[in-house]
Structure 1
Amino acid sequence: MKKISKITLIVLSIITSAFHFSCGSAGEKKEAGLKNHTNNMDQKLDKITFGAGCFWCVEAVFQRVKGVKSVTSGYMGGKIKNPTYREVCSGLTGHAEVCQLAYDPKEVDVATLLEIFWQTHDPTTLNRQGADTGTQYRSAVFFHTPEQQKEAEAWKQKLNAQHVFPNPIVTEITAASEFYVAEDYHQNYFNENGTEPYCQIVIKPKMDKFLKAFKSKLN
């Protein structure tokens, strides 16, 4: 496991606090059609899938990480096929809002991705990130390989042992299941809607802290 950096010890300063705007309330737009995710990724790329609250925030962070070639927002971990955003937001499907990353392991290792994951959300709040509440906003690592599982579990154990967070980490670490790509208007959301209230109030402050803390890891 990668040694925990000094940046990790100040992780609490990067966690997003509660806000008056929520991802669900900001997403009142016409539903677009869904289709199952088709794996068109280069065979040389690895995949990992993260849930860390609203997928707009997660996407914006990892789009800027060196070695990450694509970030796709979608749904994972539920019990029905082809869920829509409205269905997922009901909390009845069991899906989490997630981002699936395709990354080049020669440019960025899974330990670095996990370090960024832990530091850019609060993994101690069950089914909640700030004002976004519900099982769809749960903290989760959906691993695609045994190595990713081992690394994620080691990070979680180490962070808890060092009491980096004031409360125990509740992040779910589980094998990746079927991934459903979210509606088109959710993709590349922050880049295309950066002036909207949710982006300015919730995502931008998080991005500013992330960009400063991980300057050497950016594209």
Structure 2
Amino acid sequence: MDKVFKVGFGGGCHWCTEAVFMALNGVEKVEQGFIAPNENIADFSEAVIVHYNAAVIALKDLVAIHLDTHRSTKNHSMRNKYRSGIYFFKQADELVLKAIMTELQQDFETPLITAIFPFGAFKSSEERFHNYYFNDTEKPFCRTHISPKIKMLKEKYAKHVSAIVQ
């Protein structure tokens, strides 16, 4: 039986989100771009599609990492561009994601604003932005915004971190 599944995550800059998930064992591919939910197919925001091996990393771990690596409890002026969301591809995943979110809420003092959406459409970002972080980790944007997230991954989620960031 196929153990590779996919899920979409949005919340912050897709350069950051892409780097976080590329740094994990069990993630086989990350597609960087823009996702629109099924109920509003024209409402795209920055996001990634993560293809992962469920035998190596659980969906719950991916969701926990997502919530910890962006502002999952705060609205801000850029929420249209950076919607805090999780996008499911199979209807059965909706209930699983809702249960995971309910369980993980216990780890946060304030309510999570991250919404669960049925996947609608995807537009890839420009090729020159793919693998943004790992192509040059010393860029000022990378050092300021992405490296701290990778550092936190190494500390809090060490068992999931790939050799690519060791």
TM-score by length of 2: 0.86
CA distance in 1 between partners of 2:62 and 2:132 (Å): 21
Q: Runs of 5+ in structure 2 lacking a partner?
A: none
Q: Which of these residues, 188, 212, 216, is aligned with residue 155 of structure 2?
A: 212
Deviates more, 1:95-104 or 1:141-150: 141-150
TM-score by length of 1: 0.66
Greater Cα radius of gyration, structure 1 or 2: 1
CA distance in 2 between partners of 1:215 and 1:159 (Å): 19
1:177 maps to 2:101: no
How many pairs align? Answer: 159
Structure with the largest fraction of helix: 2
CA distance in 2 between partners of 1:49 and 1:77 (Å): 10
Which aligned runs of 4 or more in structure 1 are off by greater than 3 angstroms? none
Counterpart of 1:70 in structure 2 is 29
The within-5 A match list for 1:18-57 is: 45-57=4-16
1:191 maps to 2:140: no
1:166 maps to 2:166: no
Counterpart of 2:18 in structure 1 is 59
One-letter amino acid of the structure 2 residue matched with residue 135 of structure 1? N
Contact 2:26 2:52 in 1 (8 A): yes
Counterpart of 1:117 in structure 2 is 66
Structure with the largest fraction of strand: 2
CA distance in 2 between partners of 1:138 and 1:52 (Å): 5
Q: Deviation per CA, 1:103-159: give whole Å up to 9, x if none.
A: 11222221121121122222111256xxxx241111100011234322221122234
